[in-house]
Amino acid sequence: MDERAGRSAAANLGIECLGLLGILITAKRRNLIPLLLPYLDQLQFEARFWFSQNLRIQVLQLAGEIP
């Protein structure tokens, strides 16, 4: 599914969207995973999941792993 189209459709229905990175942040905040960084590395370098360096920094900041 095109993520943009899916998010748009969900928003039109009033459904809150949470992507993969949001799920990982939530898992970290709930202490389901000890660190987010290894998962970001696996996604980016092994699964070739693309996200910008700025987004990577934002995610790590939200997870409390960098100031």
- Taking each helix axis as running N to C, give the angle between helix 53-62 and helix 20-29, from 0 to 180 degrees, rounded to the nearest 10: 30
Residue 7 has pLDDT above 90, yes or no: no
pLDDT band (50, 70, 90) for residue 1: low
pLDDT of residue 5: 87
Separation in Å, CA 7 to CA 10, 18, 19: 5, 9, 9
pLDDT tens profile 26-50: 999 999 999 999 999 999 999 999 9
